Amino acid sequence: MKTTWDASEYRRRHAFVYRSSQDLVDDWLAPSAGERVLDLGCGSGELTALIARSGAHVKGMDASADMIAAARTAHPHVTFEVQDAHTLQATASFDAVFSNAALHWMRPLDSVFGRVHGALRPGGRLVLEMGGQGNVQVTLDAVAHACRALGLPDLPLPWEFPSTAQLARLLEDAGLQVRQTLWFPRPSPLQGEDGFRAWLATFGSGWLSPLAPDERAAVLERAEAYARPRLWNGETWQSDYCRLRAVATRPDLRP
């Protein structure tokens, strides 16, 4: 169930993912000159470049080679690396680890947070935003409804959208101390009358990959019909995004 990424389509149709989280860099991470920062799941690198403008020494890391290639082309002054977070090898190297809209793809999360703990210096911080409980619930329901109506098996989800309590437990089990959390709804516009299908084509390619082409077309048609009265306002699609932010630190045990 591997999701394929088209960086140009991502930027053209779904730039809200990083544009709506710029304050996560400015106000939550608040990077300073000389800090060593890892952007985990950096995608096409826009927020990585924003961090770099603070004077921090930042490395962007993503499991998608296509996204990293696009990031390197758009931001040649920033360091980017293809790397799966589950195999991250960095020992007490970073003052901060930052992640936006990526961790909910990184199942299982417990092993990722263990790697983050190891990558942070004592006293270093993790600043994250990810899909939280209830994220894109109408879309999940729409696809499930379509599959059942067509007699198809349920499709396993590629994402993990934890509650605040579940996220805090995962962070603490990894040895991190939770300093701040925030869950909030953020209705997000999807461009064009085909916005619902375009979202699924970009973010749901792996989710829908078990379906044959004719099954996929039928599921998209039924799912869109289910979602339209819930997400279409007559002018645009408004997806029911729910976001979860957190700040956690690696304890500094020095006396």
pLDDT tens profile 35-93: 999 999 999 899 999 999 999 999 999 999 998 999 999 999 999 999 999 999 877 78
How much is the average pLDDT of 199-226? 93
Question: What are 132-158's pLDDT values in tens digits?
Answer: 999 999 999 999 999 999 999 999 999
pLDDT at 16: 56
Rounded to a whole number, what is the largest CA-CA distance in the chain? 64
Residue 58: burial class (beta carbons within 10 Å; 0-12, 13-18, 19+): buried
pLDDT at 191: 86
How much is the average pLDDT of 17-24? 76
Question: What are 161-191's pLDDT values in tens digits?
Answer: 999 999 999 999 999 999 999 999 999 999 8
CB atoms within 10 A of CB 217: 11
pLDDT at 3: 58
Domains and CATH numbers, the chain: 7-135+158-190+240-249 (3.40.50.150)
